[in-house]
Amino acid sequence: MARYIEAVCRQCRREGAKLYLKGDRCYSDKCAFSRRGYAPGQHGQGQARKKVSEYGIQLREKQKTRRIYGLLERQFRNYFEKAERQKGITGENLLVLLERRLDNVVFRLGFASSRTQARQLVRHGHFIVNGRRVDIPSFHVKAGDVIAVAEGSKDAPVIKEMAEGLATKTVPAWLELNAAGLSGKVQRFPTREEIDVPVQEHFIVELYSR
């Protein structure tokens, strides 16, 4: 499957916001967005002075959300169409669907420093859901599901390194973390107030409704 392979810091600079795509590096002085907060490219510094159209604002919010969760255009559109069919507010439904992805839940529980790393760990079969190994990052968790590190993966260096910081990890209220058991539980679906992504989802709805 096609995937963005260039420097992910360029995505933050293009969107004009820190998207926390590289985990701990985004909180350090090495963060490219902190050092160069303007858009990438030869004319990047001048783009901030340009007036952005209504369509441009809507497009940027969609691209920002897509990049935060690491999705391709077709994947993202499919999520939107599913959210649109559900009862409730389409924009909020969309974000809840994205939060329910297994790679996102693994990230939220602190088992990975970024969604990108979480996606890789899931693909490599390091996690089980309700006792069964799941290696599909887009797998949708349900309320009551238990996500845990697979027994055979607990000695992996990347898992051991992650486990050292779990004791001080704060997780969203809709999740429950068992740091000692290297597991977590989905207590319920998140509310909009609990989804801390810097996006205005109503612009996405407006974009796809054009």
Q: What is the mean pLDDT of residues 168-174?
A: 94
A 10 A CB-CB count for 70 gives 21
List the domain boundaries for the chain. 1-51, 52-99+197-210, 101-186
Q: What is the mean pLDDT of residues 117-130?
A: 97
Predicted pLDDT of residue 51 = 85
Query: pLDDT digits over 88-108, tens only?
Result: 999 999 999 999 999 999 999
Instruction: Name the one residue in this structure whose structure tokens are 């995937």.
Output: 3
Residue 128, CB-side half-sphere exposure with 13 Å CA sphere: 14
Nearest by Cα to 111 from 31, 169, 175: 169
CATH number for the segment(s) 1-51: 1.10.1050.10
Burial of 37 (0-12, 13-18, 19+ CB in 10 A): middle
- Between CA 52 and CA 62 the distance in angstroms is 15
> What distances in angstroms separate CA 64 from CA 93, 173, 200, one per listed residue?
17, 24, 10
Confidence band of 50 (pLDDT split at 50, 70, 90): confident
CA 28 to chain CA centroid, Å, is: 19
Q: Report the percent of the chain where pLDDT is more than 70.
A: 77
End-to-end Cα, the chain, rounded Å = 29
Domain 52-99+197-210 CATH class label: mainly alpha
Query: pLDDT digits over 3-37, tens only?
Result: 555 556 566 555 566 566 656 655 566 655 556 65
Q: Report the percent of the chain where pLDDT is more than 90.
A: 73
Copy the structure tokens of residue 5: 């392979």
Do 1-51 and 52-99+197-210 have matching folds? Answer: yes
pTM of the model: 0.80
Q: Which CATH number fits domain 101-186: 3.10.290.10, 3.50.90.10, 3.40.1350.10, 3.40.50.2000?
A: 3.10.290.10
Find the DSSP H helices in the chain.
Answer: 9-15, 32-35, 44-47, 54-69, 73-85, 90-99, 102-108, 115-123, 157-163, 201-208
Q: What is the mean pLDDT of residues 72-80?
A: 97
Nearest by Cα to 63 from 52, 81, 50, 76: 76
Q: Given a cut of 50, is residue 1 above it in pLDDT?
A: no
